[in-house]
Structure 1
Amino acid sequence: MAPQRDRRPGFSRRAQYGLFLGYVAAAAGALIGAALLLLSTFDPPAFAALRGVVREGTAPVSLGLRNLRDGVAGIPGSIGDHFRVMGENRELRAQVQRDAALVQRARLLVRENERLRILLRVQELPTRTVATARLVSSSASSTRRYAVLAVGHAQGVRSGQPVLGPEGLLGRVVETSPHTARVVLLTDPDSVIPVRRTRDGLPAIANGRGDGMVDVRSANIANAPFLAGDVFVTSGIGGIYPPGIPVARVLQNARDTAASRVFAQPDRADFAMVLETFLPPAPPPQPVPTPAPEAETAS
């Protein structure tokens, strides 16, 4: 039997209205998309402001959905933790006994380090926490990696400030609205972070790949060897990120450039901290007032 070519909804008013509303919705969506595309092309500041308004409106919804998802996803883990807690407690007690000597040694080294710092008069730059807030959402499938933080310039957050998760560096703030902030993650292709290797202090650069990982390459040695398990932390160079923040771990042996997995995963982070920049920008030089010429005395 030949397929029916007449696809009209017939005499059903409900089907006709549904088809008509579908056409109207499709046309309205196409017009709105074209308007947003033109706005982002010819007036980026206005498009950024509009994007901030949309973030302000969608942040509570995203926050509620994230809380619901975390609550449901945590039920199986809670049941499993109930059965594992006794064995973990026994292992932890044994570990504490084994590490007692190491803890005492570490305390001695800390006191010795403090004494040497006093002798050398080493000046440390304080790092202040600007705000702590919930991470509302993050992009996991796009090549551009951004996250939205539920805090904005009304709470003192400014563009360029570093953002930390519970396990390490997440990225830096690139855009703020009154109560939300847009964060470019360190896995974004535009993210470039000066780092150093913990075992020997090798300076390197961590560059985002857009796939959830970063590429680490040596900053001053050609064809430098990288070993699986090498840990890299922020070096403090550049004046944005404080030194010593965990960034990434090398996955396998490589030379010159090593694929590395970041410590801080935004999809597992509930909260994040916004810090002041390590070296705040210097204030602009003040103009030197010129003395007014003295009035000439009559001869």
Structure 2
Amino acid sequence: MAPPPHRRPGFSRKAQYGLFATYVIAIAGTVVAALLLIISVADPTGFAALRAAGAEITAPVARFFNSIRRTGNDMGGNLSAYFDAASKNAALTKEVKANRTKLIEARALKVENARLRGLLKLRDESGEQVAVGRLISSTASSTRRVATLSIGSNYGIERAQPVRGPSGLIGRVIETGPTTARILLVTDAENLVPVMRLGDGLPAFSTGLGNGLVVIKPLNLGESPFKVGDIIVTSGNGGLYQPNIPFARVIRKTNDGALAKPLADPSNSPYAIVMKAYQAEARAVQQAIAPDGKAKEVAE
């Protein structure tokens, strides 16, 4: 026959000892508490000494648990600070990127404003301008050095009209359409420009090399009179280009002339001014020349 599931503690000696120990501890705790209460009332000074002794005994344990609590709080604070710093860092990074974009836009706007101010100043100083347009393209590598202007015959643009930018001469118009025009750059090998040295007016002529540079040769053959750094401007000879338009700077002396770099860079000059020919006769002659450089047959 199986024993009942719930047996009394008396059936187990171990259970009896455990129950007895519980009673003993409870009675002892009650007695100690009663004694401490009596001592605290009868002898407060002695009770204070006992309390101090108890505090000294339990102090190491209290310190241990307190250090554990502080460590836990510090770890929680550090984790919170880490995630907070990460979120702040992401926000600051985003703000820096936005500010960098705004700074780049502001610098670009400043450069654009400077170009426009230079163009307005040039337009006010030049009384023979026809129109102002934007250079929308230029050849980087080709047999011809040409650029495209965003204005054409609808704006009064005609062939053989000089084109210049704020920095200097760019070229001349060789073809026109209703809304665009092609410009033969000064760096083209077939573009001959009468020039002179600034300062003493030494006459010379310029031809393009097709690589972004021009060759300056004096009219009087002989040893090259140029030196590095000389500024070359248009002379007005031929009647097409007005005199004293900034043209180029000498970068190297040669045996019979000099190599120079044009002051106006079409790739860095988005705006250009189309001007009238310096003399009407020169414009008529230039208009009688085909874009390929050959003279047209004029019926008598």
Specify the TM-score bucket, using the shorter chain as the normaliser.
0.5 to 0.7
Instruction: Note the residue ranges of structure 2 that are not aligned, 5 or more in a row.
Output: 1-99, 109-125, 285-300
Establish whether residue 241 from structure 1 lines up as the match of residue 257 from structure 2: no
> Residue in 1 aligned with 2:186?
186
Instruction: Note the residue ranges of structure 1 that are not aligned, 5 or more in a row.
Output: 1-73, 83-125, 285-299
**Superposition CA RMSD, Å:** 2.6
- Give the CA deviation at 1:147: 0.4
- Give the CA deviation at 1:81: 5.5
Closer, same or farther in 2 for the Cα pair 1:75/1:174, shift >3 Å?
farther
Do the aligned partners of 1:225 and 1:254 also contact (CA within 8 Å) in 2?
no
Matches of 2:219 and 2:251, distance apart in 1: 19
Do the aligned partners of 1:127 and 1:242 also contact (CA within 8 Å) in 2?
no
SS at match of 1:170: strand
Establish whether residue 78 from structure 1 lines up as the match of residue 99 from structure 2: no
Q: Which amino acid aligns with 1:78?
A: I
SS at match of 1:207: strand
Matches of 1:76 and 1:257, distance apart in 2: 48
Matches of 1:77 and 1:265, distance apart in 2: 26
- Give the CA deviation at 1:154: 1.2
| Superposed counterparts of 1:32-181, under 5 Å | 78=104, 127-181=127-181
- Give the CA deviation at 1:178: 0.7
Matches of 1:176 and 1:193, distance apart in 2: 21
Matches of 1:277 and 1:138, distance apart in 2: 23
> Residue in 1 aligned with 2:219?
219
- Give the CA deviation at 1:220: 1.9
- Give the CA deviation at 1:76: 9.8
Report the number of matched residues.
168
SS at match of 2:261: strand
- Give the CA deviation at 1:199: 2.4
- More helix per residue: 1 or 2? 2
> Residue in 1 aligned with 2:87?
none
What TM-score comes out, normalization by structure 2 length?
Answer: 0.52
Matches of 2:106 and 2:282, distance apart in 1: 53
- Give the CA deviation at 1:255: 3.2
Do the aligned partners of 1:231 and 1:250 also contact (CA within 8 Å) in 2?
yes
- Give the CA deviation at 1:77: 8.1
> Residue in 1 aligned with 2:265?
265
SS at match of 2:266: coil
Q: Deviations over 1:203-223 (max 9, x none)?
A: 001100000110000012422
| Superposed counterparts of 1:2-17, under 5 Å | none
Closer, same or farther in 2 for the Cα pair 1:211/1:76, shift >3 Å?
farther
Q: Which amino acid aligns with 1:137?
A: S
Matches of 2:283 and 2:234, distance apart in 1: 25
Matches of 2:178 and 2:195, distance apart in 1: 32
Do the aligned partners of 2:133 and 2:272 also contact (CA within 8 Å) in 1?
yes
SS at match of 1:78: helix
Closer, same or farther in 2 for the Cα pair 1:154/1:144, shift >3 Å?
same
Q: Which amino acid aligns with 2:218?
A: S
Closer, same or farther in 2 for the Cα pair 1:146/1:283, shift >3 Å?
closer
Do the aligned partners of 1:225 and 1:255 also contact (CA within 8 Å) in 2?
no
Query: Which of the pair has more CA radius of gyration?
Result: 2
